[in-house]
Amino acid sequence: MSPDLIPPAVRNRLAGLRLTARRAVDLHGLGLHHSRSRGAGLEFAQYRAYERGDEPRAIDWKLYARSDRFFVRESERESPLALWLLIDASASMAQEDEANPGWSRLAAARGLAACMAELALRQGDRFGLVGLSTGGLRLLDAGGGARQRDRLALDLNALSAAGAFPALTQLTPLWDRIGAHDLVVMISDFFDAQAMDLAARLAGARREVLAIEVLTVSERDFAYPGGHRFRDPETGAELLGDGPALRAEFLARFGTARAARHARFDSIGIRHAALVLDEQLDVPLRALFGARAAGEYG
């Protein structure tokens, strides 16, 4: 990835991370991800005791007949994964903090996408990009290799935040490309109901969806001194108010809404993490792909 998208310190810490999927597929050649299938030509690795969660068809029934115990047959064969980076490019993603101009939500999303593409490249996984905006979908088909990384960098830099989140009807091209069991990472603020719906639809259609919500510092702290004219960048609605007076109620309501979003994510099996703009880029990646998180699905 072009060096300006990933800060050097973050690149250093990416070494400990590994992209993992809950269900890996065994269709597309060799990769890092476990696939406990027993297809022809697979190289036998070992037997191990059955654990809860193993698929019943992975159990060696002949061995069960001989020993009266469940054994799972494991193979060396590992398969690659397709990683889809879905970046919300609606106007709300252009928001940045006054204290740190230039570091917008979209810039952070670019950095996150670049980090994950770097991880995928290291593992031999394919990755693709979708920029979501009413201005038009920006699609980069999944592929692997260093050239794909450069194409992704070009597309990321060309991405600009404008318009609103597209309606689901606009998103039919996604279904052609994102296959079942693909890993989909959605980077958005998830303020739009459509974004939540898209994530839910993808998750419901057997795509493994991860969500990274990107929040500005002002949304977390709401430290506005004095009067401000707040404007919604997508609808254009305006509200004149005094920062300290609005603060407590906003924080309460915003927290409630966030908790509701998280609850919905959890209910449909979407793992999620959050990045506030004053944090390092690898904070949500560590939560999703760190050693502990990977262990849950290893």
Interface residues with other proteins (CB under 8 A) are 91-92, 94-96, 98-99, 189, 191, 218-219, 224-235, 237-242, 245-246, 249-250, 253-254, 257
Nearer Cβ to other proteins (59/94):
94
Bridge pairing between strands 183-188 and 82-88: parallel
Nearer Cβ to other proteins (21/159):
159
Q: Which of 32, 22, 18 has the alpha carbon at shortest distance from 181?
A: 22
State in angstroms the smallest separation of the CB of 110 from other proteins: 17
Contact 85, 116 (CB under 8 A): yes
Tell me how far apart the alpha carbons of residues 270 and 184 are, in angstroms, rounded to a whole number. 10
Contact 88, 75 (CB under 8 A): no
State in angstroms the smallest separation of the CB of 94 from other proteins: 7
Q: Which of 127, 112, 115 has the alpha carbon at shortest distance from 31?
A: 127
Q: Which amino acid is at 145?
A: G
Nearer Cβ to other proteins (16/227):
227
State in angstroms the smallest separation of the CB of 249 from other proteins: 6
Nearer Cβ to other proteins (204/227):
227
Tell me how far apart the alpha carbons of residues 241 and 231 are, in angstroms, rounded to a whole number. 11
251-273: buried (b, 16+ CB within 10 Å) or exposed (e) per residue?
A: eeeeeeebeebbeebeeeebbbb
State in angstroms the smallest separation of the CB of 277 from other proteins: 12
Tell me how far apart the alpha carbons of residues 127 and 185 are, in angstroms, rounded to a whole number. 11
All residues at 6 or more sequence positions from 199 whose CB lies less than 8 Å from its CB, including other chains = 186, 190, 209, 211, 265, 268, 270
Nearer Cβ to other proteins (3/255):
255
State in angstroms the smallest separation of the CB of 240 from other proteins: 7
State in angstroms the smallest separation of the CB of 181 from other proteins: 33
Nearer Cβ to other proteins (117/186):
186
State in angstroms the smallest separation of the CB of 253 from other proteins: 4
Nearer Cβ to other proteins (92/148):
92
